[in-house]
Structure 1
Amino acid sequence: EGTSSEMLVRFGRRSGQAKENTEIKNSEEDQVLYPPLLPSKVDLRQVTIIPHNEWKRIRDSLDSLTREAACLRAERKAKKEMHFRSQEVVKHWTNAYAGMKEQKLEAKKKRDEEIEAERQNLDVEEAIYKQGERKKAIEYAKQYQFYQTERVKKFHSGLLLSRVMKERDAQIESQKNKIKSDKKWEEQLKLSIEKAFKEEQEKAEKRRRDRVALANDHLKQIKEHEEEEERRRKHEEKDAEEIRRQNSLHEIEMRKKLEKRKEEINESRRLFFEHVNDKNIIKAVERQQQEEEDEKIRKFIKAKKRLMQIGKEKEAETHRLMEERRERINNFLSELMKKKLDNEDLIIARDTAEAEAEREKREREKYEKNKAELKAIEEYRAVVMKNKEEEERQRKLEAKKQLLAIMKADQIFQEHEKEKKRKADKEHQKVRDAHIQQMARNKFNAKQEKQAELEYCRLTEALMAEKEKEFQDYAREVIELESESTNKYIYPLVKAVQEGHGGGHGPVFVDRGGIRPSYQANDVIGVQLPFCNSPGPKYNFQKSKGRLGFTW
């Protein structure tokens, strides 16, 4: 009951408590600040007051799950941190499984690095060795290619000849020392010498034939080049002639078109002038007809006026006669009136008045009739003149419209002709530009070909100069080496070195790659005459000279 009474207390103090205890408790509760949870305008006597301990118990019972979850998370985090610290400590131990595994991995990594370093060193050494082998192969190929050139072959032939001559002299000297009295050996030696001499002659003849064949090939190539150049020149001349012919045909066609266009313009102008002349003739005829009609109208009006004048004159004459008659009648009546009675005077006066009224009526009707006829004539004349003026105005408008249409058609025709001329000029300009571009392109191509040929000649001369220098260095070393043993048989080597390209006996032709022809040619081709090494006359001409009387 005490607890329930405490929970249900709404206002005031509980019974049985001292005032001092209440004040102490209130002072303790005042130390804890709470936010204003009550809304405004609330009756405090209707609010239930819960003690702080009870409120704390209720709140703890509601938040127990959240606190347990937070505790579990903190515990797991602490365990995880402890596990990491344990691993960090254990991995450095040598007697533990993790430490042994780590050491083995480190050792394996070091071994792999050492093996990789050794392999890299081996690869570098292998690359250096292969590079050296490649250099040796390249040097051997260059040397082999150098030995396969014609000049080096000839030089080696001279070297072989010098060594053979030296060996032959040594053998001859040895044979002379051994068997000086052996005639058979001398004959055999003589035969071998003659045989060797014949072989040398055959080789020289073969070289001559080769040179002649090479010269013929060169002449044939030169002739082919000249024929090709002639064909190209003829083809260019033919193209130029075709272009000129096309241009002349085009000009002739354009002149024909221009003449045709001029003829069309002249024909149009002639037709226009004929049309204008026809219109002028028609206008003149119409004007003449109009003048004739006007003349007829004038004659009619003049005749009408004449008739009216005659009528007026007749009327005046009639009126005069009537007046005279009236005067006579009046005089007569006056005389009768004097003589007769009043009754008779009245009858006569009445008859006279009736006759006068009848006459005036007839005169008035005649005047009205003449006036109506004159008015009709005037109206007819005005209508005719108005129609003529309207027709003339319509005719002028039609003529003006037709003239404007002709002028517009002529202007359109002129513009069309100008447009055609502009298009034709544009086409001609395009053709001329194309021809100019083609000529410039051909000229540029020819210039490029000439530059390429000059560049090729320059590079060829530089390469030949380099090869000549290499050959001279090699020949000088060989000659120096051979001259150390003997200086007697180096003439073939010196001759092979100084021979130059072409195998001639003249000076070196520097402008044509260092060839040595037998004579200096007049052109830049460097064609040389064949060189024939004659062994001498086979017949004795002394007897013939003596028989003929010659003393020299």
Structure 2
Amino acid sequence: MVIKTLPIPTTKSNGNNQLGSKKQLSLSQSVSCLPDDRSEQQHRLPDAADLRRMCIITKSDLNRIYDNLERRQRDKDAVRQELERKKEMTERSAQITKQWPNTIIGARERKLELKKIRDQEEEERKKVLDLEEEKLAAERRREQIEKAKQLQYYETDRVRKFHTSLLLTEVLKERDLQIEMKNRIEQMRQADENDERQRFQEAQNEFYKAEQEKIEKKSKDRANLAKYHLAQANQRKSQYVQEKQKDQQEGDEYRRLAEQHALEQLELEHFKKLTQKDVKNMYDKVLDDKQKVKQMEQQMDEEEDEELRVYAEAKKKIARLRREKELQANQEKQDARDHMIGYLGSLQKRAEADNDTQIFRARAQKEAKDLREEQEKLEKQQKMQESIAKHRHETMKRRETDREIEEREDAEMRRKKAESDRLYLLYQQEKEKQRMQDAQAISEYHLKQAQERKDRQCDLKASEMDEVQLDRHMTEVEKQQYQDYTGRVISYMEENGRNTYPMKRTVTEEIKRFDQLNHAYKKTETSPNGNGEKKPGSQDKKSLDETKKHLGFQWDIPNK
């Protein structure tokens, strides 16, 4: 048995007590607590331990508690051990199967190694190709540079002039070839003319022969045609006789038809006369019918006229009654108008009496109004005169004040102007002093510039001599290149049978120019070392005053 000390339970609500009682019931099988109704003496052990604060737990329960507490750690350790075991087995399996040739991993590794080897070989091959391409590009670049230099050399004046002579040589050669071709063409033309003349003679003979044959053939044709015409004349005579007989027969037939037509016309006239009688009878009958219809219409018109007469008399009676009513209405209106005129006349008389009264009243009001306006006008004029006098007084006072202010301002302005003039005079004196100092500094600076210019001229002369030497060397090189190039071209043209005189003349002229340039270079090199010789543009040493004037100074430089 193991004894454990538990904390004293605190007082809680009824709900908590009930929950605690339920927990005690659930743990009654494993934990047994001492009853609380014992005395305090019974609850204490010899070592003064309180039994109410202690529980007795079995070993199995304690082990179970420990197991529950350490379960998570044990699970973690078990999982870690399992992972380590699997990892170890995987590594051991990999070590075992590493050298197996018939596995997927082995095949993959072999493929990777082969691919790596192929990549290395491809890289080496590409490097070799790159080197070859670089060499080829360098060669092409060198060729392009040489070609550009050659084209640039061809664009120089000397070479262009030589090429002009070369072109003239080619033109001369072409002219010779054209002359030769012209001679050959002339010979061929003469031969063609001879052949043509011979062919023309043969053709003319054949033509004469053919014309003779045509004449003979025409004579035969004319004889045959005469025979044919005689046969045609005989045939036409026989046809004329036949046609005449036929016309006679047709005339007899036409005569018979005319007689038959005349008989038919007589019968037609007889029929027309019969039909005319019938038409006349019918026309007379129609006229009788029209006469009867006309009588009936006349009777109906008389009846209608009677009705119209009765209607007209009734209409006249109605019009007479209407006029009588209108006259009566007009009379009534006239009576009403006369009554209204009389009434208006009485009203007008009454209004005239009222107008006299109104006129008198209006005249009185107007006089009172005029008197009042006159009084107001006088008062207004008086006030205006007073305001004018007041304004005049204020204006005079203000002008006096302004005059005093202007006088004070003028005095202040004169004082300030005098002060500014004094300051300006001091400023001008200081400025003149500064100008003198600046002039001294500028003169020193100009002298320094003159010395520097002289040094630069010396350096420039030295550099010019160096340039002359370099130009001379380049001229010699260019002369040698020109002679080599023209010599090769002239020899090639002579081998091909060209006239090289223009090229030789051009080369001779250019060689003379080269010699002139060399002579000029030699003269330039020897001229500074000559005795008593001066280069163009050189000057003697001048005095300080002349130097000042040359630099543009017009004042005297004070001596220190």
Q: Could you say whether these structures have the same fold, taking a TM-score greater than 0.5 normalized by the shorter chain as the test?
A: no
Q: Which has the larger radius of gyration?
A: 2
Using the size of structure 2 for normalisation, the TM-score is: 0.30
Using the size of structure 1 for normalisation, the TM-score is: 0.30
